[in-house]
């Protein structure tokens, strides 16, 4: 393949993974364009900058001279439109940049639902570096903030604000936090954890209007039930959506996101897309058309680069997994654990008496094959659970070797025996015996990771 100029719009995990993979595989000229920052940084670390645990420089995975050494050009600037006929990007400052192949990795933006007053000073989301800068400005002198929406970003924002002694009220329209994702046991645990950290969590409460102080700033919010809550900051944390306004205006076919096929091609020749902004016309089996998760963005970046270099294959994300942290409780999920069981499914749930650790395993009623797991407060190995789910291991096989999944540091307390005791009480006719012998554990774990 002759040398081409590949331009990547977006320097998040998808765009940078594509750039690095392209360089490993080819001698193409590569340019990464971003208006947000000159250099790639870890977006998940934004909260730690605000909390004083890290500096912006600490969030950059690569030194600044990495890009020149690897012949990856960086251009900072906001793109106004894409001219696919002339194959060029047109910038807001009047500049232009030619490309042979274009990768769109424009990411996400916080959702806004047209609430009255959402344009006031003090109202914002948290996704970009500019959002962090706005948060620093808005936090000066603030005593109270209201968070709208029951997602992961909201918990992060609450933790951030509490480190500045800003009181937090959290409005969640659902009956329980993240009830559209978590079963009731886990959701109730997170409700308790949020409140235990001093957050005023108000369930089944929606936002009606954001009220002005008469000078263009926030002074309060009014809920759907008529309550008025005084505040200086309002965070819209009801999820994110693909950042595609400029792309859509450029004539590239979009729906909620930029529409791509199984190879991540868009409707326009020589334009590809991946990451948060991409919507799959035919999603891989068991997956959603849009998945705004760090690891899927990384996989798509790798696949984009490989496909452009001629190693053509469909995007395959493997089994679903995700991880997060709710204040002091770490969360991992592998496979599918839906809020409500589907027909033919059963669920085993164990919760520690202190209410801050739990394991839920969903499995097929007839075969016993494990479908997915939720783990809270205990660390489990991704590779082990992925293997178990792919090989359709039964609930009994999994529990027998449950210690192989445990990834907590040495000297942490282990809970496998308590979990199995709880299972045996529920299913006394099919008791499980935990295999804890060191030799058996090592042999089994080595086989899993082979």
Q: In this structure, is residue 118 part of a structural domain?
A: no
Q: In this structure, is residue 38 part of a structural domain?
A: yes
pLDDT digits (tens, 9 = 90+) for 357-413: 999 999 999 999 999 999 999 999 999 999 999 999 999 999 999 999 998 887 788
CATH of the domain at 428: 3.30.390.30
Q: In this structure, is residue 141 part of a structural domain?
A: yes
Q: In this structure, is residue 116 part of a structural domain?
A: no
Q: Specify whether 282 is located in the same domain as 328.
A: no
Q: Specify whether 291 is located in the same domain as 347.
A: no
Say if pTM beats, i.e. exceeds, 0.85.
yes
Candidates 304, 169, 301; CA nearest to 235 is: 169
Report the C-alpha gap between 171 and 338 in whole angstroms.
Answer: 23
Mean pLDDT of the chain: 94
- pLDDT at residue 138 is higher than 60: yes
Q: Specify whether 105 is located in the same domain as 127.
A: no
Q: In this structure, is residue 143 part of a structural domain?
A: yes
**Which of the listed residues 238, 261, 285 is the one where a domain comes to its end?**
238
Cβ atoms of 282 and 260 closer than 8 Å: no
Q: Specify whether 282 is located in the same domain as 377.
A: no
Q: Specify whether 215 is located in the same domain as 247.
A: no
CATH of the domain at 56: 3.50.50.60
pLDDT digits (tens, 9 = 90+) for 409-432: 877 888 999 999 999 999 898 889
Q: Specify whether 93 is located in the same domain as 164.
A: no
Q: In this structure, is residue 117 part of a structural domain?
A: no
The residue range of the domain holding 191 is: 123-238
Q: Specify whether 342 is located in the same domain as 246.
A: no
- pLDDT at residue 202 is higher than 50: yes
Q: Specify whether 104 is located in the same domain as 252.
A: yes
Cβ atoms of 351 and 185 closer than 8 Å: yes
* C-alpha atoms less than 13 angstroms from C-alpha of 335 in its C-beta half-sphere: 25
Q: Specify whether 418 is located in the same domain as 344.
A: yes
Q: In this structure, is residue 114 part of a structural domain?
A: no
Q: Specify whether 333 is located in the same domain as 295.
A: no
Q: Specify whether 225 is located in the same domain as 248.
A: no
Cβ atoms of 31 and 75 closer than 8 Å: yes
Q: In this structure, is residue 314 part of a structural domain?
A: no
Q: How confident is the model at residue 218 (pLDDT cuts 50, 70, 90)?
A: very high
Report the C-alpha gap between 94 and 179 in whole angstroms.
Answer: 47
Domains contained in the chain, number: 3
**Which of the listed residues 238, 272, 293 is the one where a domain comes to its end?**
238
Q: Specify whether 234 is located in the same domain as 245.
A: no
């Amino acid at each position: 393949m002759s040398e081409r100029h590949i331009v990547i719009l977006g320097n998040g995990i998808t765009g940078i993974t594509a750039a690095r993979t392209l360089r490993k595989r080819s001698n193409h000229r590569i340019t990464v364009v971003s208006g947000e920052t000159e250099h790639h940084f870890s977006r998940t670390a934004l909260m730690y900058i605000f909390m004083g645990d890290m500096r912006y420089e600490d969030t950059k995975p690569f030194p600044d001279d990495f890009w020149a050494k690897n012949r990856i050009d960086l251009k900072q600037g906001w793109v106004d439109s894409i001219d696919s006929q002339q194959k060029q990007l047109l910038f807001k400052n009047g500049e232009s940049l030619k490309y042979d192949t274009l990768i769109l990795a424009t990411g996400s933006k916080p959702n806004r639902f047209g609430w009255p007053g959402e344009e006031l000073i003090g109202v914002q989301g948290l996704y970009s570096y500019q959002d962090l800068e706005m948060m620093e400005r808005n936090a000066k002198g603030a005593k109270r903030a209201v968070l709208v929406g029951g997602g992961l970003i909201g918990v992060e924002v609450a933790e951030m604000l509490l480190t500045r002694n800003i009181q937090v009220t959290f409005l969640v329209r659902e009956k329980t936090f993240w009830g559209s994702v978590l079963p009731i046991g886990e959701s109730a645990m997170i409700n308790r954890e949020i409140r235990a950290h001093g957050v005023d969590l108000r369930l089944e409460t929606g936002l009606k209007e954001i009220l002005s102080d008469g000078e263009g700033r926030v002074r309060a919010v009014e809920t759907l039930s008529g309550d008025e809550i005084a505040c200086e900051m309002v965070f819209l944390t009801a999820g994110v959506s693909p950042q595609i306004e400029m792309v859509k205006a450029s004539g590239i076919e979009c729906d909620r996101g930029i529409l791509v096929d199984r190879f991540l091609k868009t409707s326009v020749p020589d334009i590809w897309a991946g990451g948060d902004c991409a919507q799959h016309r035919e999603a891989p089996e068991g997956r959603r058309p849009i998945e705004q998760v760090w690891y899927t963005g990384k996989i798509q970046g790798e696949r984009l680069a490989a496909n452009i270099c001629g190693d053509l294959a469909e995007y395959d994300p493997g089994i679903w997994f995700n991880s997060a942290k709710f204040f002091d409780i770490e969360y991992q999920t592998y496979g599918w654990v839906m809020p409500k069981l589907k027909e033919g499914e059963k669920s085993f749930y164990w919760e520690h008496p202190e209410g801050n650790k739990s394991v839920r395993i969903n499995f097929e009623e007839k075969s016993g094959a494990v479908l997915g797991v939720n783990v809270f407060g205990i660390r489990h190995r991704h590779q082990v659970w992925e293997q178990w789910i792919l090989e359709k291991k039964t609930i009994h096989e999994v529990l027998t070797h449950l210690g192989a999944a445990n990834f907590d540091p040495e000297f942490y307390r282990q809970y496998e025996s308590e979990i199995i005791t709880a299972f045996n009480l529920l299913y006394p006719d099919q008791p499980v015996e935990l295999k804890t012998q060191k030799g058996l554990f090592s042999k089994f774990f080595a086989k899993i990771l082979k």
